[in-house]
Amino acid sequence: MIRVLVNGMGVIGKRVALAVKKQDDMELVGISDAAFTGPIRTLLSERGELYGTKLYCSAPQFCDSMKEQGIVEGLLENFLKSGGVDVVVDASPKGIDAKNKEMYKKYGVRAIFQGGASAGIADVSFNSYTNYDEARGKQFVRVVSCNTTSLARTIGSLHKKYGVERAFVTLIRRATDPPKVKIGPINAIVPDLKVPSHHGPDLKTVLHGVDVFTMAVKVPETLTHIHVVEATLKKEITTEELLKTFNEHSRINVFSAGHGFGSNAEIIEAMRDLGRPRYDMPEVAVWKELTHAEGNKVYWMHAVHSESIVIPENIDAIRAMFELASQNESIEKTNKAMGIMKLNL
Amino acid sequence: MIRVLVNGMGVIGKRVALAVKKQDDMELVGISDAAFTGPIRTLLSERGELYGTKLYCSAPQFCDSMKEQGIVEGLLENFLKSGGVDVVVDASPKGIDAKNKEMYKKYGVRAIFQGGASAGIADVSFNSYTNYDEARGKQFVRVVSCNTTSLARTIGSLHKKYGVERAFVTLIRRATDPPKVKIGPINAIVPDLKVPSHHGPDLKTVLHGVDVFTMAVKVPETLTHIHVVEATLKKEITTEELLKTFNEHSRINVFSAGHGFGSNAEIIEAMRDLGRPRYDMPEVAVWKELTHAEGNKVYWMHAVHSESIVIPENIDAIRAMFELASQNESIEKTNKAMGIMKLNL
Amino acid sequence: MIRVLVNGMGVIGKRVALAVKKQDDMELVGISDAAFTGPIRTLLSERGELYGTKLYCSAPQFCDSMKEQGIVEGLLENFLKSGGVDVVVDASPKGIDAKNKEMYKKYGVRAIFQGGASAGIADVSFNSYTNYDEARGKQFVRVVSCNTTSLARTIGSLHKKYGVERAFVTLIRRATDPPKVKIGPINAIVPDLKVPSHHGPDLKTVLHGVDVFTMAVKVPETLTHIHVVEATLKKEITTEELLKTFNEHSRINVFSAGHGFGSNAEIIEAMRDLGRPRYDMPEVAVWKELTHAEGNKVYWMHAVHSESIVIPENIDAIRAMFELASQNESIEKTNKAMGIMKLNL
Amino acid sequence: MIRVLVNGMGVIGKRVALAVKKQDDMELVGISDAAFTGPIRTLLSERGELYGTKLYCSAPQFCDSMKEQGIVEGLLENFLKSGGVDVVVDASPKGIDAKNKEMYKKYGVRAIFQGGASAGIADVSFNSYTNYDEARGKQFVRVVSCNTTSLARTIGSLHKKYGVERAFVTLIRRATDPPKVKIGPINAIVPDLKVPSHHGPDLKTVLHGVDVFTMAVKVPETLTHIHVVEATLKKEITTEELLKTFNEHSRINVFSAGHGFGSNAEIIEAMRDLGRPRYDMPEVAVWKELTHAEGNKVYWMHAVHSESIVIPENIDAIRAMFELASQNESIEKTNKAMGIMKLNL
């Protein structure tokens, strides 16, 4: 049983903690946060059973009073020093993760960082499908961001089967997480000023040999990102073959607009109907009607539930680092434990 | 065991069906819909276990082909004629419900209608707290709408304890359900042209003796309605007494902005964190910081999750009609079965 | 000719500058800003004719380089010291205005502050209709905020005619100005945590003898605020009398939903159709269908174009301070110069 | 003087009418509408001077009563029959335009249709820059849609200078016009289900020899569309050459995010600041920071003000049909009359 601690209880951290608890080869030995402020502190005080594990704080200046109040066991650093943790999934804010790394190094604890960190923070960037084996035995691994993960799955599956020469992707990004009410825009479209956006270069860290160019905008919406993709393959395929490739991928689901799923809101409603916790959708959603092949060019749009898509990749990354399972075994175990499945909607 | 059929699988129907299944004195003997089109048909085809009951169709013209395809057992009317149903929870669209009533009458089946129907459709309008006993033994009962239900709880609880002379309520309505992507506005506020809006008169059907005046607007938001209330009591109370009244109500939860719940989005995020199915919140959410008493006037704002708030009232209405339990017993049973609880957030 | 300088070229300042230019008893002798950054700098560099006046900077640290580049004449303080300005309309950000006041005092220059400043900054708060004469001869005057100005007009006109005992107002606020793309919420309603909100007390600074209680929320919309008002009069009036009172006010326009103006977006579109600069609407917009009287209680909703409603009040305030005209004369002059008129839509 | 009548007073028609009045070689002899319902009727009744021309109605069933009320001169058909009109700019709703064409044919009146009509309605589709001369002497001309017009300008200018082999465009569409409050989505992204979307084929009707593939989504925003373009040129160019090409085009303006124009909302605010009527922006807006060249591939994003971009093309189309001016003369005349200019922001 690998002993896992999740550090940082934001959007990603709170989900990884629950996912770890569902695995039979891992144990959630604790969760930590700088100071557990805001909603998470209130929820944990009132509903300790939510995460069913011990709490640690990472900010020394707040730790004593929290310990006295019985909220936390103590300082994260002391727990790491004690040898009680095999791996930390670090989901702390950008900038903090780099500082944390020094602490993990000091105590010889392994760690997984998230896509918000720069690639240089880890020995390797990771996607379950495109480079699982590269994480074997590594101390520091970085799971690429939600957008990059979705492209690694879709473009990656085509690349493996047919070879992808080049892809041009427009990312239409939801502007923020649903509860972040201070962030806009309200009625505007805001381009990402970097051309290419960072997503293309980031994809290359986990998917080798594909030339990818990305541009991005933010729109006033909170559900999912949408990617519009044109990929040039090394051979000609049909629309049926394109669709089949996506259908065969265990973390891509194909939705049919003709069946009532003509927008990301209707797809998210299906997640609610299916009883998915938090309406999470760790699978990439591809629209059947929007897959299209012409010669060696293929086109599609997919939706990315940015809050949850990287959660299964974090779990797989743990298995890869500790060589607990082969790529296929890990993906299958994670999918089963998390309820990731082919939906045929 | 009361045999319940839910007719109409929209926003309310799909929730009532699941809630009925959680009760130990009711049995879900079927769900029906005109033709199970769109997402619900796809979901039921792929995930028959979602509702775990038999399907019937209410539109004869579609029924044969659906029966042949093995989707439905047959026509709803035939099932009602066979005597297999004690009560129908009718959640069909406005206009259809009135036609359905004739069918229920013909076969002597009892029925519960929703707040979208006019009050005249039923023998009595219903709220679990303000007039439970008025539904005893009735054939046709109407559960008032989401907005009215929230006012029956909040104003009703004050009325019971202190007497409410008058209330003025501004309803700030989310414009539509989350998956309805064709409906706006996108960047506008749209007043309800009726003054008073229908909510005030509707409240009087379940809360007697209180003069209520309501005005309403629609805003571009999909999470919850917000009500802003000024109530004039028959005696002076303090802000503490106001808050205590809400805290004592079993389907009102008080949220503190100071604890990170300063908007309806942060409250809905808490429902996601708590693992509530579909992030449903059948409780009214009152903001602690927005309760205020001055003399015999009290003020507050509350959020209404319109998709789910009337679900427990539908369950209670069944018990009241069949005299299965006293008011308090029914409320307690429903709350326990549905996970409705005091949160202290 | 009163020599006017506008300090602070944000939402209010840029509009006041143009309005001053349209008056025949005032001269725009300059505009100033801390550093003319962002769009305003670009626009002024490219289109100097936009404001047709001299530029001054108020931040010494940026002034030299801007003077060298020929953008500004020099430091605002030096210009004030030279005696070239009779009155400054200060539309600088909150906090800065208080510092500026010391400078105006030092050089004996009069000044008008905006509603964002606390009432204490000035000798008197001002509204053209309710207390014009109180500003006569004063050195420092504060024009109340957009929301308060709209209430001074509507409630004030009823108070003058019939006497208003009390009013309860719900303010549904557009969350931010149209070009501010970083500010949300995107899909949420955010209550103002102060009860009563500051608007009620603020109204009392210009409208004496009326008890007003206000509560406010922010919604994801950028066009106008909407107020929902219940007022208790000292006598009974009819809906016709209510409507007539608003129709008689020279800065209130009544719009009919039945004529196609059923939302604030359709009203703003009319401003575009009418050729109003920037679609500005300095008049309060009342919906005909939403005016309602019952006994001595009256109800209505109105829309407030927060970017422009206080501009004519700033102009009137100058006339009042310098005793250039009587209240009625000033209002008439300002309205004519700015194109404020009765629309009958 | 070409005698112009505008038929259909919606978003496009009301703008074309005003633009015609600004030309010295055209006369606006009338405007017509089926029944002048809603806001436009109210505005015209109250502010006859808005369009300063005679009104005709096209729906016989409403015409008599409107004539009696003095609103209209009479039936459009009678006016056409009388020979008082040289050309109709038809901006009536889809479907109606095809019926109108039969009437124009009958009376030998020329007509211009809009991009909502299918290409088959006219002898030729039109863009001022790419195929002006093809409209010479034609009876029926169709001005392509807002999206297509923007692509004809941007891609067309590159094609003329360097040759464009192929372009892939993602269109991020504002979901509706600002005053249309019934149309959503509120919080969702809705893909256009056609792949390629109709925009690519439509562009080919006015820009010959370029292979264009387009995909589109709708987002909850009302200001402008945004296009994200990758174009493959016949030769390599630099980012400077790309930018220069756009800068040289008389209906493309380049905006710098670094100067405060980092979103379409900030660009539209500049139109308000510049005093543009209705904040219209007939020019395409390209972001400087988002132009990028790599080898023979170029990338950019541009904003399309869908309400106004085709207005100058309608004016040019009239000149082309009647051979009033050469391409360059017409463009220059139209630009000058309408205030279209290079902004350097």
For D96-146, what is each residue's pLDDT tens digit? 999 999 999 999 999 999 999 999 999 999 999 999 999 999 999 999 999
Positive or negative, the CA dihedral C338, C339, C345, D4 is negative
Residues of B in contact with C230 (CB under 8 A): 168, 213, 230
Distance separating the N- and C-terminal Cα atoms of chain C? 36
What distances in angstroms separate CA A151 from CA A38, A86, A252, C303, one per listed residue?
33, 30, 11, 46
Q: What is the pLDDT of residues D150-202, one digit of tens each?
A: 999 999 999 999 999 999 999 999 999 999 999 999 999 999 999 999 999 99
Average pLDDT over residues A147-162: 98
CA distance A169 to A300: 10
Nearest residue in D to B219, CA atom = D186
- In the sheet that holds A74-75, the strands lie side by side as A74-75, A55-57, A26-33, A2-7, A87-90, A110-113, A140-143, A124-126
What integer best gives the mean pLDDT of chain C? 96
Average pLDDT over residues A295-306: 98
Which residue among A190, A297, A301 sits closest to D191, beta carbon to beta carbon?
A301
Please give the pLDDT value at position A44. Answer: 87
pLDDT at C48 over 90: no
Please give the pLDDT value at position B38. Answer: 86
Q: What angle do CA D11, D13, D19 make, to 5 degrees?
A: 110
Substitution target in D183, D186, D223 with the highest count of B β-carbons within 10 Å is D186
State the CB neighbour count (10 A cutoff) for residue D228.
25
Identify which of B243, B261, B253, B244 has the alpha carbon closest to the alpha carbon of residue B342: B253
CA-based R_g, chain A, Å: 20
Cβ neighbourhood burial of C73 (10 Å; 0-12, 13-18, 19+): middle
CATH assignment of A2-144+310-338, given 3.30.200.20, 3.30.2040.10, 3.40.50.720, 3.20.20.140? 3.40.50.720
CATH 3.40.50.720: which residues of chain B? 2-144+310-338
DSSP D215-253: EEEEES--S-EEEEEEEEESS---HHHHHHHHHHSTTEE
Please give the pLDDT value at position A262. Answer: 97
Average pLDDT over residues B119-134: 97
CA distance D172 to A159: 27
Q: What is the pLDDT of residues A106-122, one digit of tens each?
A: 999 999 999 999 999 99
Q: What is the pLDDT of residues D250-266, one digit of tens each?
A: 999 999 999 999 999 99
CATH code for A146-304?
3.30.360.10
pLDDT at A48 over 80: no
Is residue A268 within 8 A of residue A255, CB to CB? The reply is no
Catalytic residue among B146, B155, B233, B303: B146
Which segment of B160-164, B180-184, D52-56, D230-234 scores lowest on mean pLDDT?
A: D52-56
Partner chains of B (3+ C-beta pairs under 8 Å): A, C, D
Nearest residue in D to A293, CA atom = D195
Average pLDDT over residues B183-191: 98
Average pLDDT over residues C45-56: 86
Binary contact (A221, C185; C-beta < 8 A): no
Please give the pLDDT value at position C142. Answer: 98
Which segment of B54-58, C286-290, D110-114 scores lowest on mean pLDDT?
A: B54-58
Catalytic residue among C34, C121, C146, C321: C146
Is residue C151 within 8 A of residue A147, CB to CB? The reply is no
C47 pLDDT band (50/70/90 cuts)?
confident
pLDDT at D48 over 80: no
Average pLDDT over residues D209-223: 97
Can you say whether residue D52 is alpha, beta or left, with left for phi > 0 and alpha for psi between -120 and 50 degrees? left
Q: With the CA atoms of B221, B224, B228 and B233 taken in that order, what torsion angle do they form, in degrees rounded to the nearest 10?
A: 170
Quote the DSSP letter at residue D164.
E
pLDDT at C35 over 90: no
What integer best gives the mean pLDDT of chain A? 96
pLDDT at C122 over 90: yes
Cβ neighbourhood burial of B323 (10 Å; 0-12, 13-18, 19+): exposed
Please give the pLDDT value at position C28. Answer: 97
Cβ neighbourhood burial of A216 (10 Å; 0-12, 13-18, 19+): buried
Please give the pLDDT value at position A47. Answer: 83
Q: What is the pLDDT of residues D271-325, one digit of tens each?
A: 999 999 999 999 999 999 999 999 999 999 999 999 999 999 999 999 999 999 9
Can you say whether residue A41 is alpha, beta or left, with left for phi > 0 and alpha for psi between -120 and 50 degrees? alpha
Residues of D in CB contact (< 8 Å) with C are 14, 37-43, 46-47, 50, 178-181, 186-187, 256, 259-263, 265-266, 268-270, 272-275, 277-279, 343-345
CA distance C224 to C177: 9
> Which amino acid belongs to residue D183?
I
Please give the pLDDT value at position B269. Answer: 97
Q: Which residues of D179-209 are buried (b: 16+ CB within 10 A; e: fewer)?
A: bbbebbbbbbbbbbebbbbbbbebbebbbee
Peptide bond into B185 cis (omega under 30): yes
Please give the pLDDT value at position B199. Answer: 95
How far is D69 from chain B, CA to nearest CA, in Å? 28
Residues of C in CB contact (< 8 Å) with B are 168, 170, 172, 174, 185, 187-191, 193, 195-196, 213, 215, 217, 219-224, 226, 228, 230, 257, 262-266, 287, 289-292, 294, 297, 299, 301, 303
Please give the pLDDT value at position D35. Answer: 84
B46 pLDDT band (50/70/90 cuts)?
confident
Cβ neighbourhood burial of B102 (10 Å; 0-12, 13-18, 19+): exposed
Please give the pLDDT value at position B42. Answer: 87
Can you read off the two tokens belonging to residue D332?
């220059």
Partner chains of C (3+ C-beta pairs under 8 Å): A, B, D
Can you read off the two tokens belonging to residue A317?
């990354």
Can you read off the two tokens belonging to residue C16?
């006041």
Which segment of B91-95, C144-148, D240-244 scores lowest on mean pLDDT?
A: B91-95
Bridge partner list, D141: D112, D124
* Residues in CB range of B160: below 8 A, 6 or more apart: none
Q: What is the pLDDT of residues C314-337, one digit of tens each?
A: 999 999 999 999 999 999 999 999
What integer best gives the mean pLDDT of chain D? 96
Which residue among C168, C188, C226 sits closest to B217, beta carbon to beta carbon?
C226
Q: Are strands A110-113 and A140-143 parallel, antiparallel or unpaired?
A: parallel
Is the entire prediction scored with pTM above 0.95? yes
How far is A115 from chain D, CA to nearest CA, in Å? 24
Please give the pLDDT value at position B183. Answer: 98
Which residue among C46, C265, C279 sits closest to D279, beta carbon to beta carbon?
C279
Q: What is the pLDDT of residues C161-170, one digit of tens each?
A: 999 999 999 9
Alpha helices in chain B (DSSP H): 11-21, 38-46, 60-68, 76-81, 96-106, 146-162, 199-204, 239-248, 264-273, 311-321, 327-338
CA distance D6 to D55: 10
C51 pLDDT band (50/70/90 cuts)?
confident
CB pairs under 8 A between B and D: 58
C38 pLDDT band (50/70/90 cuts)?
confident
Residues of A in contact with B258 (CB under 8 A): none
CA distance D313 to D141: 11
Q: What is the pLDDT of residues C198-227, one digit of tens each?
A: 999 999 999 999 999 999 999 999 999 999
Nearest residue in A to C219, CA atom = A186
Average pLDDT over residues C72-98: 96
Please give the pLDDT value at position A14. Answer: 95
Query: Per 3-state DSSP, what percentage of chain C is helix, strand, and coil (rounded to 5)?
Result: 40, 25, 35
pLDDT at C44 over 90: no
What distances in angstroms separate CA B230 from CA B155, B189, C168, one per listed residue?
10, 22, 8
Please give the pLDDT value at position C49. Answer: 79
Bridge partner list, B170: B215, B228
Q: Note if D63 is an active site residue.
A: no
Q: What is the pLDDT of residues B235-264, one digit of tens each?
A: 999 999 999 999 999 999 999 999 999 999
CB pairs under 8 A between A and C: 58
Identify which of D260, B253, B282, D177 has the alpha carbon closest to the alpha carbon of residue A193: D260
Average pLDDT over residues C11-26: 97
Please give the pLDDT value at position A344. Answer: 87
Report the number of secondary-structure helices (H) and strands (E) in chain D: 11, 16
Q: Which helix (H) or strand (E) holds D155?
A: helix D146-162
How far is D207 from chain C, CA to nearest CA, in Å? 33
pLDDT more than 70, % of chain C: 100
How far is B21 from chain A, CA to nearest CA, in Å? 15
B48 pLDDT band (50/70/90 cuts)?
confident
Average pLDDT over residues B219-232: 98
CATH 3.30.360.10: which residues of chain B? 146-304
Alpha helices in chain A (DSSP H): 11-21, 39-46, 60-68, 76-81, 96-106, 146-162, 199-204, 239-248, 264-273, 311-321, 327-338
C72 pLDDT band (50/70/90 cuts)?
very high
Please give the pLDDT value at position B44. Answer: 86
